[in-house]
Structure 1
Amino acid sequence: MGTRVSYPSEVKLKAVEMRLAGVPVKEVMKELNIRNRTQLKTWMRWYKNGEMHRFEQPVGKQYSYGKGPEYENETVKLEEENRYLKQQIEVLKKYSELERKWYQK
């Protein structure tokens, strides 16, 4: 088992930009000295999911470092929480509607 490598956030973002520009995976890995193609796939997934805060996190701390995204102020944090809770309510409404249809049959 090898040692963990910590890539600077600039390297991660450069790799994502190169991939979005259509540069082949092997070429990106060679130019930026990235050891594993799975790492590049992970960075691409983070970028596509909008999880930009993960690029700044140290190795092995992706799930505990900072406990999520940093917010500019309390208002932005509350707006995000409100949006999330509204989505949860919508899911529950859809489920209850489906459940009602199942029991009608």
Structure 2
Amino acid sequence: MGKRVHYPEEVKKKVVQLKLEGTHTNQELMDMFGIKNKSQIKTWMRWFRNGESHRFAQPLGKQYAYGKGPEDENELIKLKKKIAYYEMREELLGKYQEIERKWFQKYSSKS
């Protein structure tokens, strides 16, 4: 088995954000961030979709249950991460709704 690679939490979040914006392919993201395998991106996307973004911060080899992150993490840090998650989610939802609105205007006016 090959050497396991750890990606910082910020890289994981940035990759998910860029992927959700739809501006980059998996291969482009792999090249930009030095990710070895596209399945890693798919895993991060699955975590995000399932609301498991707390897993972005977990160390290699640790599979924490929800809310059971590293013991040294205090309540304030957990709340800040939760706020950041919901802010990112809200921003992406707004972008999606804008794209959907433009698409609807474009195709409903052709009738």
For residues 27 and 55 of structure 1, what CA distance do their matches in structure 2 show? 21
Correspondence 1:1-105 to 2 at 5 A? 1-22=1-22, 23-63=24-64, 67-69=65-67
Structure 1, unmatched stretches of 5+, are 73-105
Aligned residues: 70
2:66 counterpart letter in structure 1: G
Structure 2, unmatched stretches of 5+, are 69-74, 76-111
1:10 is paired with a residue of what secondary structure?
Answer: helix
Q: TM-score when scaled to structure 2?
A: 0.58
Q: CA deviation at 1:52?
A: 1.2
Q: CA RMSD in A?
A: 2.0
Q: TM-score when scaled to structure 1?
A: 0.61
Q: CA deviation at 1:10?
A: 0.3
By relative contact order (CA 8 Å, sep 6+), the higher-ranking structure is 2
| Structure 1 runs (4+) greater than 3 angstroms displaced | none
Q: CA deviation at 1:13?
A: 0.4
For residues 29 and 69 of structure 1, what CA distance do their matches in structure 2 show? 29
Task: Provide the residue aligned with 1:89 in structure 2.
Answer: none
